Structure 1
Amino acid sequence: MRVLFWVNSFPVVSETFIRNQIVDLIKEGIEVQIFCTLKNKHNQAIEGFEEYDLLNKTLDFSDILPKTKIRKIKYALRILADSLFTENFKYYTNFIRLLIKEKKYTFSSIFILHYILKTKIDIVHCHFGPVGNKAVFLKKIQLPIKLICTFHGYDIRLGIQKRNFYKDLLKYADSVISISNYNTKMLLSFGFKQEKIKELNNGVEVISGVGKRNNRDRQINILSVGRLVDEKGYDLALNSISNFHKKNSEICFHYDIIGGGILEEKLKNLCNDLKLDKIVTFHLSQNSEYVKSKMREADLFLLTSRNEAIPTVILEAQSYSLPVIATNVGAVKDLVINDFTGFLCDITEKDIEKCLKKMFDNRDRWDMYGLNASKNIILNYNRIALVQKLISIYKTI
């Protein structure tokens, strides 16, 4: 079985769930190739980069597109000539007809088609709805591949904002994968048929040996991980931390933020204005090993997002038996249960501060929260079990 993962960019620090899926499939003997719009030259997002030969398995348009317009035309003509007396010729001619009929497709896509035919791909697995939209042309030209698309977060929001945004995907996808109950509900509202929707959680590694955290008589480490963008709500986090610190100055804690993004300068200025520079550290973008080390050092995880589907970072935190405070967005309520795995809060500074106080008032229950969360990860989000479910989906569509 040959699977092509089609993604926007690869590798991406904030999309470890895609990397995990690829690595786990390779471990199971599945042949995986990766096509992306943009190949990320910073390979810090990939563990075992050399071990799984992911560099040689990844290509973008620069790898398959001739550099000039003349060379593109010559190469395309050679592809057509070489396929003239083969079964593949009809797919190229179908593509040219589609190109004439539907202006939204570009001539460059013929080189993607050529790559898929040359490597004999069986399944094209897209991550994020807009990528699935791009890949639909493969089904329109009757290419005998299976098309799957996994929906995550921003793509769900696009579907809510733009009516009929996925109308082609509705018709041509062989299956769509939902990572949460919330996503399933939204996909149904977009018009996807129930029988096409397969539920598959994002999987994370089950972490052993974390143990109890002796957090009574030392500094408490609070951790957030995520891009420095508006939807992650770090302004809410910093203002809430500031208000909490002013009212509870006797509590010794430090707040670590891992992630880079366009709001870096703005958030650092806010931190300085709030006089939090001694208790807040911006670690910026880091590799997964660094994040893991900070997870082990942390006592408490904080997520203050304005929008999410089901944040993989919460799954990762809970795999380290961390209690979690999180805003009640998307499917977060499936993971963070009040006074069981942590506390849910509204998307307001006041409520986040209130949950911080509630969490510290229940410090003696943190180990229990972490244990409950860890059990849920083992039962429902173990990546080793979930890759078997994904392979089963591949085989049955």
Structure 2
Amino acid sequence: MNILVIAHYQDDGSPYVSFVHSQVVEFVKQGHNVNVVVPTVFGKRYRYLKNRSHTVIDDIPIWYVDCLSFSNYGKYSINNLLGYRTVASAVKKILKEYSIDIIHAHTIGFDGHLAVKLKEKYHIPVVITTHGSDTIAEINLGKGEYLAKICKNADYIVAVSSKLKNLLLEVCPSLKISVIMNGFHMLPSLSVAKEPYTLLQVGSLIKRKNTDLTIAAFEKILKKYPQARLEIIGRGDEEAKLKQLCKDLQIDKFVTFYEYLANEEVLEHMARSQVFIMPSINEGFGIVYIEALSQKCVVIGTRGEGIEDIIKNEENGFLINPGKSEDIADIVIKCLTYSDYCREIANKGFETSKELTWENNAKSYLKLFDKIVSAYNACCDGGIRLI
């Protein structure tokens, strides 16, 4: 199968988007041909992207396409128009060298819009995957109709969690949509001894990650276990505020902030931590939860978020009520008090993580793609869709 992937550049150190590239690599391993179109913002300086020319990485042709952008002012109109013109030009070049059976766009907004416009021009079926903020943020801004219009023109929508699927069905009940959870690179549990009483949170230091709840809970935990330590890995607009909160609570000596660590280093911190906490909201999925499970951490997430598809409360991890720091404190104290119970939960979480590989993720997508392409070909005559 020949697949065209559209994923705008994220500047996360990968060729375009780390988790999308992981999936694409797996498509290729399973015998399929993939071209990736990567829209970038014209004139923008990126931390990691130095060469915007056509390149090949991991045997995957990657086409960087500079698009004019008028920031949020043109988000729903002129940006899409200008972006389509430049991307369509790149796709025209690709089609001279490769055939395309299906287009897979990541995120509904800009990438999804480009995909459905290409479908109109070339009569190629389209699957769009929503990962989180592309759905949640837009719906919160009252842009549900905008998302629905794009989704209706696609052949199928994939959500990475039930939360996202249900949100989209509220704005567009007739959607063809299902859930395929993201994968991750399953590495052996690192041979690092667990450090007793070590707690960890990993993620951007932004409001919706609710790191302040973890800090508030940690103050209560320290009263019971003064030997406890909290590590926070991430950076963001809330960093100064969170550090000040630690000082105000007089717990700053027991909390360590790390601005940025490579993924391998993050996994090492997970491997030696007993409990991983991320009480975020508006979270579409969160690969970091699975990584923590794979390193045998007890994982604490939030009810009603994407992680609820994976974590079954008090079976393979814990779910707290949104905004409840006391829930975090109670769970952590219980785990630190009853080490056998803590170990049992962590081991069950580890078993859960084994199923969530990119290999399994790619198999699910490829099965879906094959079904859509077969149906599309069956109902088309001379390149024109009949139904």
Normalised by the length of structure 1, the TM-score is 0.77
Q: Secondary structure at the match of 1:262?
A: coil
Residues 50/237 of structure 1: CA separation in 2 closer, same or farther (3 Å cut): farther
Q: Secondary structure at the match of 2:126?
A: strand
| Aligned counterpart, 1:350 | 326
Residues 184/326 of structure 1: CA separation in 2 closer, same or farther (3 Å cut): same
| Aligned counterpart, 2:147 | 166
Is the 2:104–2:126 contact (alpha carbons within 8 Å) kept by the matching residues of 1? yes
Q: 1:179 and 2:160 equivalent? A: yes
| Aligned counterpart, 2:9 | 9
Is the 2:116–2:154 contact (alpha carbons within 8 Å) kept by the matching residues of 1? no
| Aligned counterpart, 1:198 | 178
- Cα distance in 1 for residues equivalent to 2:110 and 2:80: 13
Q: Secondary structure at the match of 1:4?
A: strand
Is the 1:224–1:256 contact (alpha carbons within 8 Å) kept by the matching residues of 2? yes
Residues 291/249 of structure 1: CA separation in 2 closer, same or farther (3 Å cut): closer
Residue 350 (structure 1) shift: 2.3
Map of 1:367-378 to 2, 5 A cutoff?
A: 367-378=343-354
Map of 1:315-334 to 2, 5 A cutoff?
A: 315-334=290-309
Residues 289-326 of structure 1 deviation map (CA, whole Å, 9 limit, x = unaligned)? 22222222222111121321222111111122221122
Residue 209 (structure 1) shift: 4.4
2:84 maps to which of 105, 109, 115:
109
Q: Amino acid of the residue matched to residue 102 of structure 2?
A: I
2:109 maps to which of 115, 127, 130:
130
Question: Where in structure 1 are there 5+ consecutive unaligned residues?
Answer: 44-48, 66-101
**Bigger shift: residues 260-269 or 121-130:** 121-130
- Cα distance in 1 for residues equivalent to 2:78 and 2:153: 18
Q: Amino acid of the residue matched to residue 61 of structure 1?
A: D
Residue 207 (structure 1) shift: 3.3
| Aligned counterpart, 2:72 | none
- Cα distance in 2 for residues equivalent to 1:348 and 1:205: 31
Residue 17 (structure 1) shift: 2.6
Is the 1:136–1:168 contact (alpha carbons within 8 Å) kept by the matching residues of 2? no
Question: Where in structure 2 are there 5+ consecutive unaligned residues?
Answer: 50-54, 69-76, 373-387
Residue 361 (structure 1) shift: 2.7
Residues 209/166 of structure 1: CA separation in 2 closer, same or farther (3 Å cut): closer
Is the 1:228–1:259 contact (alpha carbons within 8 Å) kept by the matching residues of 2? yes
- Cα distance in 2 for residues equivalent to 1:234 and 1:304: 7
Residues 316/214 of structure 1: CA separation in 2 closer, same or farther (3 Å cut): closer
- Cα distance in 1 for residues equivalent to 2:4 and 2:262: 25
Q: Secondary structure at the match of 2:35?
A: strand
1:364 maps to which of 340, 349, 352:
340
| Aligned counterpart, 1:97 | none
| Aligned counterpart, 2:121 | 142
Residues 376/370 of structure 1: CA separation in 2 closer, same or farther (3 Å cut): same
Residues 34-86 of structure 1 deviation map (CA, whole Å, 9 limit, x = unaligned)? 4133484337xxxxx996267x7251416xx8xxxxxxxxxxxxxxxxxxxxx
Is the 2:65–2:90 contact (alpha carbons within 8 Å) kept by the matching residues of 1? no
| Aligned counterpart, 1:83 | none
| Aligned counterpart, 2:376 | none
Q: Amino acid of the residue matched to residue 258 of structure 2?
A: H
Residues 259-280 of structure 1 deviation map (CA, whole Å, 9 limit, x = unaligned)? 1212222222222222333221
Aligned CA RMSD, in angstroms, stands at: 2.9
